Chain A
Amino acid sequence: MKAARLPVLLLGLVILAAIVGPMLLPWRHDAIDWNAVRVPPGSPGHPLGTDMVGRDLLARSLAGTRITLLVAAAAAGVSLLIGVAWGAVAGWKGGRIDEAMMRIVDGLYALPFMFVVILLMVLFGRSILLVFLGIGAVEWLTMARVVRGQVLALRERPFVLAAEAAGARAPAIMIGHILPNLAGIAIAYLLLTIPQVVMIESFLSFLGLGVQEPLTSLGILVKEGADDMDVAPHALLLPGGILVTILICLTLIGEDLRDRLA
């Protein structure tokens, strides 16, 4: 528990700021202040400065964080649902069904995900809904593998056989024995999926293929900052810093949880 306390705290702060922050700030993330174009941090009214067209960086960063986290949570949810369902069915049914389902997962694993998501974007137009559906639909594979492995192992555990001998039927065994013993590891991998999803979303947005204006996300802000970094490095460092903080915290929490459950 000790190791993960700081990341939990930091992540909590970032989430809180992303939710509450935009309500407290005088500037909207897309409002342009013509009197303060590209001002440095510490300027009056813009504590962290503005970008090249005079939009408040703090407001933009918080709004971007909000979208990034939203997409991440939704996409991770999609991946959790598909992954647990797929893995649990494969592991429980076993035999040929398991074999076939896992071959499909193996096959999908061998695809360049990012490119497939981009292909989908190109074909069906860019929309935020498609962003998280697309990401969720490709990020469930690891979850499915982990869940399937656990179910397969649990199914042969003596306590499950004893439950069968005790008269418990499949649904009762699933709910009473399999799922509770699965929950911890599934949550750990959910936490490890979220940074992956955040990374993909930011990556797509960085390339201009993800979240579209007027919405903003951390990926878009990093891209804008990188384009302008020779004159306003803080425009790169602020959203980049928030993004990296989120990724690192989630990774540390997830790994800590996984290591304690594995």
Chain B
Amino acid sequence: MRALILRRLLTALPTLLAVVILSFLLMKVAPGGPFDSERALDPATEAALARAYGLDLPLHEQVWRYLLRVAQGDFGPSLVYRDFTVTDLVAQGLPVSLTLGALALVAALAIGIGAGLFAAARAGRPVDHAIMLAMTLLTALPSFVTGPVLALVFALWLGWLPVSGWGDGRPAFLVLPVIALALPVAGAIAKLTRAGLATALAQDHVRTARARGLSPLRVLVRHALRPALVPVASYLGPAAAGLLTGAVVIETVFALPGLGGYFVQGALNRDYPLVLAVVILYAALILLFNLIADLAYGWLDPRIRG
């Protein structure tokens, strides 16, 4: 188990390092990039950039200085949002995005595992097939379609919930964005749970438990569920990636003041320091989720602990 986590870390840290270095170098060579001297920037920004990155130093020095700054959480000035550093923008937007993402992850896990269990308890019956078909459909629904459609139906037509905005984080404003974000991930988790349970229920140890005369629910929850959740755990990393990505579009659709909105504006306006900061931050978050998944494996299946 410790070896597994160590191995993951040994993969994760170089990956992150490579992302940072490669992005920095790409930025250097990109035509019309921030360090392209033909690009018209106002002198103040130009000077700030030169100071920040030590543009007159040899390349490896520049990379090293950039790494040091990133390690201290300093991503330099934003090119679009004048008067703000990238770190300021991240500090403003990240809490909103994390709230949205965390709620959506909880919702997706609850809906997904719940639906998977419910379907497995009725294995082979029409309810099972109907639920799993619905879950497949969910995975194929992009959040940038469900988001606007949900807003159209529940906000514009039915008037039950606000169309958009943050509303200082009041629950009513969060319902639609969280649902739109959670649905595809919930569908994927439900399918993984159901498939995992199908495998687990066919295993010998489940027959042993049934032979003991345990109730079907107890067999399902105590003997089958944990091994069935191993694939769900390995999906945590991709799920986090999906939620972070989806959050970008959901924040645009529902006009939420999260990091995603800044990111899109930054991308459209070629605000390199901002875009780079978000990519690095999200890469780190996803790596973190992969580590959490590794810890979860150990709990779900002691054989992995060795």
Contact = CB atoms under 8 A, between A and B. Distances in A.
A250 B268 CA distance: 31
Given A110-B283, A112-B241, A119-B276, A202 B144 contact: yes
B268 to A, nearest CB: 6
B152 A233 contact: yes
B268 A115 contact: no
Interface stretch (A27-35, A148-156, A165-173, A239-247): A239-247
B290 interface: yes
B253 A203 contact: no
Contacts of B248: 114, 207
A59 B141 CA distance: 23
Identify whether the interface residues of B are mostly helix, strand, loop, or mixed. helix
Contact of B267 (A107, A207, A240): A207
A243 B145 contact: yes
Contact of A116 (B14, B33, B279): B279
B141 A107 contact: no
B245 A115 contact: yes
Interface in B219-264: 237-238, 241, 244-245, 248-249, 252-253, 263-264
Interface of B: 11-12, 14-15, 18-19, 23, 26-27, 30-33, 136-137, 139-142, 144-145, 147-149, 151-152, 156, 237-238, 241, 244-245, 248-249, 252-253, 263-264, 266-268, 270, 272, 275-276, 278-279, 282-283, 286-287, 290
26 contacts: A103-B11, A106-B11, A110-B283, A110-B286, A110-B290, A112-B241, A112-B279, A113-B245, A114-B245, A115-B278, A115-B283, A116-B279, A118-B279, A121-B267, A124-B31, A125-B31, A203-B249, A207-B248, A209-B264, A222-B145, A222-B148, A226-B147, A244-B142, A244-B145, A248-B140, A250-B140
Question: When A and B form their complex, which 7 residue pairs have the shortest distance between CB atoms, in order from nearest?
Answer: A226-B148, A123-B30, A247-B140, A107-B15, A114-B245, A248-B140, A112-B282
